[in-house]
Amino acid sequence: MINKIKQQTQVNQFTFVFSHYSVLLAVIFLAAMIILCDGITFAQPNPPFVRGTEPVNTTQVTNTPVQVTPPNTAATVTNPAITAELEKAVTAFNNSKFSEALDILKALYASHPEIAPPRVIMAQMFAQAKLSDAVRANLELGTEETPSDPEAYLLLGEIALRQRNLTAAELLLKRAAETVQAYSASETRKKNLTSSIMRVFSDLYESRQRWAQMEKCVDDQIRFDGQNATFLRRKGIAVFRQDRDEEAKKLFLQADQLDQTNKESGQKGIPADAIMAQLYLTRGDKDKARTFLEAALRAYPDSKEVLALSIQMRVSDDKLEEATPLAQRLLAEDPTSSSAKRLRATVGLYLQDYVLAEKLFQELLLESPTDAPAQNGLALALCEQNSPDKLKRALEYAVDNVRKNQSNGEFWGTLGWIQYKANLTEEAEKSLKQSIATGSINAATAYYYARLAVKSNKIDEAKRFLNLALQGNNQFAKRREAAQLLKELSK
């Protein structure tokens, strides 16, 4: 396997663009976002706060058989005859008789045009089975077979938005909006589809950073669906982005009131101060962000959302000792939470609590064997424990991770670091060059390269990489060691 890595890592020349954030720091951010946005399927470039109900995630693929159930959106009436036929279609689908399932749905749709079209229902079942290629294929066929129904356009638009194909998403959503106006088979379904189209348009405008259009879209949805806390928070984001900070704060507070957020009843959404903190971070105003976040933490000391944000802030500020009790508290709130576990493991890794980090990353990997960031964290925790057996395991995990993720520069950097610690200097240099050849180098990899340069007595090169690693106050697991090394080399 090492020989294979040698072949993969041979490069003659390389250039790089520095990336400020490592996968491990991104893990902290993403874990915080998972806690904040449990159930949200879209990944937005801006802070994704509380959304409405999202569709099934259609972008995951698995080879594991999944027993699907009748999609909740398949019928908008409580008709026993429809339910019976849907169950027949599901049974056929679960027995891999896809053509039979489709025939049942086509016959059902012919007599009950008020339900979703056959291809849409098939797509929903394939989504439950995590077969993303079949999802898209059925939706594409749906636009051909039932072009006057808006749902296939809507779902394709959501997939395009999730994949950051924003122009395609906008065109598909416009087509869905045009089609739903003429739709008349079911008033209930028409209302639900219209609401969903508005919601996804709002997400699109957020992605496009068209804040005035986003605000108008949310206002339209409030008039259509009625006011609720989610809509108020969505509007608050758009308003803040138009530099109307006080108005945004009032909207967030109003959302808190609608949610009846207090210590006795608990909150359903993110508190106003915590949202304001996130938004000020998007402006780069960390001072205001800290002020609002500390206020939120005082008011909601047990809030998972606020704790996650507070951990993220302290890690970013290199206040790891302060992050530790918060991460412990968050994990104590929900010991089975993978997000809380990931945050605690990462903080432990940063503070060199490698035994704890190993334990938690191992648990995450057992829960989800395809969790590449957890595998990366586990490899790093293992290689630091001065154990030949654990170093060997670390190398195996790192090699496996780059084999499965060959374009991931962070994982190549991890492999290079572990090879360095295993005194495989030549292999380490090649892996680190491969990390750079992916197009970016993060702070951790820059530090690893500096250590390799020191070993080769290339002090000027080492100092250059250390300065690169430390620029911008970006956080990574070896930041303190990098600062100390640079200080020693600069004497």
Res 319: pLDDT:
94
Res 388: pLDDT:
96
The answer, as to whether pTM is greater than 0.85, is no
Res 36: pLDDT:
45
17 — phi, psi (to 5°)?
-115, 130
Res 440: pLDDT:
76
Res 174: pLDDT:
98
**Bridge partner residues of 441 (DSSP):** 18
Q: Could you give the C-alpha distances from 65 to 71, 93, 96, 126, 130, in angstroms and in order? A: 17, 11, 10, 11, 9
Question: Cα–Cα distance between 295 and 303 in angstroms, integer?
Answer: 12
Res 71: pLDDT:
66
Res 66: pLDDT:
57
pLDDT along the chain (491 residues), means of 10: 36 32 46 41 28 30 52 61 93 95 96 95 93 94 97 97 96 98 95 96 97 98 94 97 97 90 58 95 93 94 91 92 96 92 96 97 96 97 97 98 95 97 96 90 94 95 95 87 95 83
Res 229: pLDDT:
92
pLDDT tens readout for residues 26-79: 444 444 444 443 332 322 222 222 222 233 333 333 333 456 676 654 445 578
Question: Cα–Cα distance between 432 and 414 in angstroms, integer?
Answer: 8
